[in-house]
Structure 1
Amino acid sequence: MDPPEVLSLLARSFADTDSDRPLPVRLCETCVDTFQAQGGALTVSAGPGDRIAVSTRGAFERLEPLQEVLGEGPVPRALAVDRLVVMRVEAMVDEYPVFSHLAGAIGDGVTLYAVPMRVGPHVIGVLSLYVTDTPSGWDLDDLQFAADVVGADLLSNFELLDWSANAPFHQATGMVAMQLRIRPDDASALIRARAFARSARLLSVAQDVLQRRGLVSDDD
């Protein structure tokens, strides 16, 4: 496909989404539909450790939270190096061994495309698509163009993104850092480790910390 064709397909698909749903969700569904994927996610990053993500419903929606907890995987990699990352889920990947091992139990036979969303010289997030069938009719350049279009749309509507959900994690990180007298980065790593050990979401563990249930301690 060429860029005008991709843009036309995105526009038609977006028009068919539910206008009452949040913009990131509609854009995510648009990309999944346009590229005939079996699932997808949009991750927007305002800086290190400050991300929001939305996923389409289904088996693959657990893959984005898993990368967030572990701090490894195609999405963090695409953000860090500003390039499209392709991963066959059932294959062991040396760069992120824990994620690739656990992801195989969730999405065996899936190819994960993590595409940086570029706006000018900046990467504002990542478009993820989960594909079980061999792609036909589109290539990686089409994915990159679509990701950049979506990134530009998100940036122009940045005020519509809800960052308040991240507040408990940042508050819990500060609490643990003060309690244990460690750096915020180390406190964040401890919370992530607790979430991984419990197979829980980061915000769930952060709420426990804030409510003084299961505080992270030196024993962890």
Structure 2
Amino acid sequence: MRPHDFAEEPGRQVRARMMALFTEAVVPRTDALPGDGEQGEARFLRMCRALVQVTEAQGGALTLAPGELHRVTLCATDDTASRLENLQEVIGQGPVLDAASSGRVITAELGGQPGTGPWPVLASTMAEELGALVVQALPMRVGSETLGVASVYRRAATGRWSPPTHEASVLAGMIGAAIVSSGLDGEAGLSWDVRDRISQATGMVIAQLGISAVDAAALIRTAAFSAGMDMAEIATEILEYRRDFSTDQDGGGDHR
């Protein structure tokens, strides 16, 4: 896909180009070779890149059920977008979670002023790891339900950023509808494997400590944040019996 200057185009032309980009993202490539990963996760990634292009962002991600036990990031366009999603997951706060719970588009600058704003812990951690970013979180609404959130970011140092919120919201909804129509099962590859590992690990922590699923997930999240890891890595340690919370109430686990 070639870059476009959406800011100077009338709304109708923006929507036309948006539809063209989305169609290109959804329709399978005619030059795809067998086994090159064009199904599932790669298709979601193309949709996400189309959203990044429409909003003139620098990167983005698609996340299903933020804040829930079965949360899963379907794709991220780059390491910054991926780390931004992981930080919000392990810290338990951020624009993606708020957009999912409220159903509203949220745009905010993060990391420029550590310890401030509605997500102070996230802001401080981002200041250390990622620097200042402007983030827009767009609910992927399908009917009256919010399936997940599409998020895009741009570095604050690049200057003022005014993404076309209405068009981006429409595209986020189209992406959500495409995800639902795909059936998801068997198509998200590694992302769903990660989700299943976290779910299994949560069950093991429940068995170890006799606590609720919500508390078990919170314990895994806290351990991930403390260790500078993501929840999938902690889940792997639990499943491989390298971390046992029943022998270490500080959350560090018994590493064998």
Do both proteins adopt the same fold according to a TM-score greater than 0.5, normalized to the shorter chain?
yes
Percent identical pairs in the alignment equals 32
1:104 alignment partner, one of 127, 130, 134 = 127
1:219 correspondence with 2:249: yes
- Alignment partner of 2:88 out of 61, 64, 67: 67
Determine the C-alpha separation between the residues in 2 that align with 1:14 and 1:199: 35
Matching of residues 189-200 of structure 1 within 5 Å: 189-200=218-229
| DSSP-derived class of the 2:72 partner | strand
Aligned to 1:113: 136
Q: Look up the equivalent residue of 2:206 and give its one-letter code.
A: A
In structure 2, relative to structure 1, the CA distance for the partners of 1:187 and 1:12 (3 Å cut) is: closer
Q: Indicate the residue corresponding to 1:26 in structure 2.
A: 46
Partner residue of 2:78 out of 23, 43, 57 = 57
Matched, 1:11 2:23: yes
| Partner SS, residue 155 of structure 1 | helix
Using the size of structure 2 for normalisation, the TM-score is 0.77
Q: Work out the number of aligned pairs and report it.
A: 219
Structure 1 residue identity aligned to 2:65: S
Q: Specify the code of the residue in structure 1 equivalent to 2:119.
A: Y
User: 1:82·1:116 contact (CA, 8 Å) conserved in 2?
Assistant: yes
CA 74–197 in structure 1, closer or farther in 2 if over 3 Å, else same: same
Conserved 8 A contact 1:10-1:30: yes
- What are the within-5 Å matches in structure 2 for residues 70-109 of structure 1? 70-89=91-110, 90-91=112-113, 92-109=115-132
CA offset at residue 31 of structure 1? 1.3
Query: Which residue of 1 is the match for residue 177 of structure 2?
Result: 152
Residues of 2 paired with 1:148 and 1:12: CA distance? 16
RMSD, aligned α-carbons: 2.4
Q: What is the match of residue 188 of structure 2?
A: 161
Q: Deviations over 1:184-216 (max 9, x none)?
A: 111111111111111111111111112221212
Match of 2:147 in 1: 124
Partner residue, 1:207 = 236
Query: C-alpha offsets along residues 41-67 of structure 1, whole Å, 9 cap, x if unaligned?
Result: 011229822122111124332101111
2:49–2:77 Cα contact (<8 Å) kept: yes
Check the 8 A contact 1:69/1:201 in 2, yes or no: yes
Unaligned runs of 5+ in 2: 1-10, 251-256
Using the alignment, how far apart are the partners of 2:128 and 2:215 within structure 1? 29
The more displaced of 29-38 and 81-90 is 29-38
Maintained 8 Å contact 1:39/1:58: no
Q: In structure 1, what residue type is equivalent to 2:193?
A: S
User: Mean alpha-carbon deviation: is it higher for 156-165 or for 29-38?
Assistant: 156-165
Q: Which residue of 2 aligns with 1:135?
A: 161
Q: Deviations over 1:136-170 (max 9, x none)?
A: 6x521111111111111111113323423212211
Contact 1:118 1:124 (C-alpha < 8 Å) held by counterparts: yes
Larger Cα Rg: Structure 1 or Structure 2? Answer: 2
Range that drifts further, 160-169 or 107-116: 160-169
